[in-house]
């Protein structure tokens, strides 16, 4: 199963695992209902449609990893944050992939 994730995210940022291990803020951008069914331990839930209104909560973080169900919303979240001046954002893709990296 990990092979599937590895192939799916072969182009993932090579810093992702290191940033997760070093305590990056993990932000699940799925809906609250999706988040309640499971996520990465220690992650915060900021649904994509609320992200622009929660920017102050993210200011000053060393690094931020955004993730979701498929990687689509996390890609959008990364773009939104970058448009607002964040330079420390990594797209983690799926929550399962981020969870796998965190637990390795």
Q: Of 43, 48, 51, 68, which residue is the catalytic one?
A: 68
Percent helix, percent strand, percent coil in the chain, to nearest 5:
45, 15, 40
Q: How far apart are CA 86 and CA 80, in angstroms?
A: 9
Q: Determine whether 68 is an active site residue.
A: yes
Q: Are 77 and 27 in contact (CB under 8 A)?
A: yes
| Residues with catalytic function | 68
């Amino acid at each position: 199963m990990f092979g599937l994730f590895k192939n799916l995210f072969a182009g993932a940022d090579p810093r992702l695992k290191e940033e997760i291990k070093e305590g990056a803020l993990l932000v699940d951008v799925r809906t609250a209902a999706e988040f309640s069914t499971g996520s990465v331990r220690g992650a915060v839930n900021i649904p994509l449609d609320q992200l622009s209104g929660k920017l102050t909560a993210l200011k000053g973080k060393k690094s931020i990893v955004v993730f979701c169900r498929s990687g689509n919303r996390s890609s959008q979240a990364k773009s939104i944050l970058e448009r607002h001046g964040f330079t420390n954002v990594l797209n983690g893709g799926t929550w399962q992939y981020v969870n796998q990296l965190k637990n390795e």
